[in-house]
Amino acid sequence: MEGALTTRDRVGIQDFVLLDAHTSETAFLDNLKKRFSEDLIYTYIGTLLVSLNPYKELDIYSKKQMDIYMGVNFFELPPHIFALADNAYHTMLTEANNHFILISGESGAGKTEASKKILQYYAVSCPSTTLLDNVRDRMLLSNPVLEAFGNSKTLKNDNSSRFGKYMDIQFDIQGDAVGGHILSYLLEKSRVVHQNHGERNFHIFYQLVKGGEEDLLHQLGLESNCQHYSYLVQGECANVTSINDKNDWKTVRNALSVIDFDESDIQVSCCHTVCGNSFCDDIHSIAYCAILCTTTLYIILLYYYTVDHAIYARDALAKAIYGRTFTWLVNKINDSMENKDSSRKTVIGLLDIYGFEVFYVNSFEQFCINYCNEKLQQLFIQLTLKSEQEEYEQITHIGQGFQALVDFKWNSTS
């Protein structure tokens, strides 16, 4: 291992297990800082990977880098997300059992980027045939679609995932990726009708309004101006410098067609999106949305006594439609990635734990997200740290037992 390391790789300690002051938080943070100042964003704690968000492009994810990590022993090279992905893949193949990669951190820490890097690594390193390429393309392209419908700009992250995601990649016995499945949970539906200052609604709305083709917008009764839609401008930041909604719409449209969405599916998802947002302040617009949706959705219009009641009902309807559209979308993506072969397979699961908001809990939804996070965090601690600790304790007990035996033997013979 030493031979493969450059002087730069040796900055600080690469594995916290080797830190002398292993109980000191200051020593832990100092080591992270020292490495981070040299753009070394990854450090191990045994087989755990600690990653710091560099907030800049680093030249460490190229095909050349992937080649370096392929099939190499985990600790032989400097810490990297590719080493972790490669280790999970090879252990899965040798042990023939399922493996999971759990990605946890607060909002903006880099979880989504990390899971994308892992997928990209498998896309390049796993065996390839036309059929498998198909599965691979669909897995990779499901990302921009899910991000369009499930991500938005928040105060902490311009591309924050507002839903929890578990994805598994299914491999056959030879290690070929043969299918995938996504499970989403806790979509932050309240964002459809309310955004804090400096935050946006889900990306798809801005993409559609700014980038949608003239025909499509006409069909949906939309205008190409976000300012006309009150649900899109509550946060007063419909335009964000780091986001190109127009281009992103092209990417999403292209991705939708690759993952088996035909024109009518695209129309349906757009219609529901429009309805989900309602885009409306008056009964005529609601009626228009209802007409757009009649093939797939039944809408019941009730009469309310007060304006407040009516607004409440409108918002509830918008959230429900958007939530259902999202579920429908995930199901469609799953259909397109389904493994048709029922022979034995193992999976690598990627759990991107919902990024929790440390500073505020402003809604019941956020409370549920944080609660869910705490539970997952506890499970994670239980399954990894606690079980490691128990193993060490067992070894210590065995060691103590052995020592007692040696002492007994020594005393009885002397």
Ligand X SMILES: Nc1ncnc2c1ncn2[C@@H]1O[C@H](COP(=O)(O)OP(=O)(O)OP(=O)(O)O)[C@@H](O)[C@H]1O
In this complex, which beta carbon is closest to ligand X, that of residue 91 or of residue 244? 244
Least Cβ distance, residue 138 to ligand X (angstroms): 21
For ligand X (CB under 6 A), the number of binding residues is 18
Beta strands, E only, 260-386: 346-352
Q: Residue 96 CA to chain centroid, in angstroms? A: 26
Nearest residue by C-beta to ligand X? 355
> Is 109 annotated as ligand-binding?
yes
Nearer to ligand X, 105 or 175 (CB): 105
Residue of 255, 355, 369, 373 interacting with ligand X (CB under 6 A)? 355
Q: 193 near 203, Cβ under 8 Å?
A: no
Please choose, from the candidates 23, 308, 367, 5, the residue with its C-alpha nearest in 3D space to the C-alpha of residue 190. 367
- Cα(55)–Cα(383) distance, integer angstroms: 31
CB 302 to ligand X: min, Å: 36
User: What is the distance between the alpha carbons of residues 53 and 386, in angstroms, rounded to a whole number?
Assistant: 27
360 binds ligand X (CB under 6 A): no
Q: Which of 20-28, 111-119, 135-143, 290-298 is the region at the interface with ligand X (rule: CB under 6 A)? A: 111-119
- Establish whether 343 is a catalytic residue: no
CA 361 – CA 366 distance, rounded (Å) = 6
What is the contact mask toward ligand X in residues 79 to 108, using x (rule: CB under 6 A)? Answer: --------------------------x-xx
Q: Is 365 in the site for ligand X (CB under 6 A)?
A: no
233 versus 240: smaller Cβ distance to ligand X: 240
Pattern 140-169, binding to ligand X, x per CB under 6 A?
A: -----------------x-xxx--------
Whether residue 44 contacts residue 14, with contact meaning beta carbons closer than 8 Å, is answered with: yes
DSSP letter string, 193-237? T---TT--SBHHHHHHHHH--HHHHHHHT--S-GGG-GGGSTTS-
> Catalytic: 160?
yes
Residue tagged active-site, from 161, 184, 346, 373: 161
Active site residue 190: no
Cα–chain-centroid distance for residue 254? 21
Whole-angstrom distance, CA of residue 276 vs CA of residue 322: 4
**Comparison of 100 and 402: residue with beta carbon closer to ligand X:** 100
Question: Could you say whether residue 244 binds ligand X (CB under 6 A)?
Answer: no
- Interface of this chain with ligand X, residues 29 to 58, rule: CB under 6 A: 53-55, 57-58
How far is residue 227 from each of residues 210, 236, 257, measured CA to CA in Å? 11, 9, 29
Q: Are 137 and 372 in contact (CB under 8 A)?
A: no
Q: Please, is 171 exposed, middle or buried when counting C-beta atoms within 10 Å of its C-beta (0-12, 13-18, 19+)?
A: buried
In the complex, least distance from residue 108 CB atom to ligand X, rounded to whole angstroms: 5
* 112: contact with ligand X by CB under 6 A: yes
Binding site members: 105-112
Q: Would you please indicate which residues are annotated as catalytic (active-site) residues?
A: 107-108, 112, 157, 160-161, 355, 357
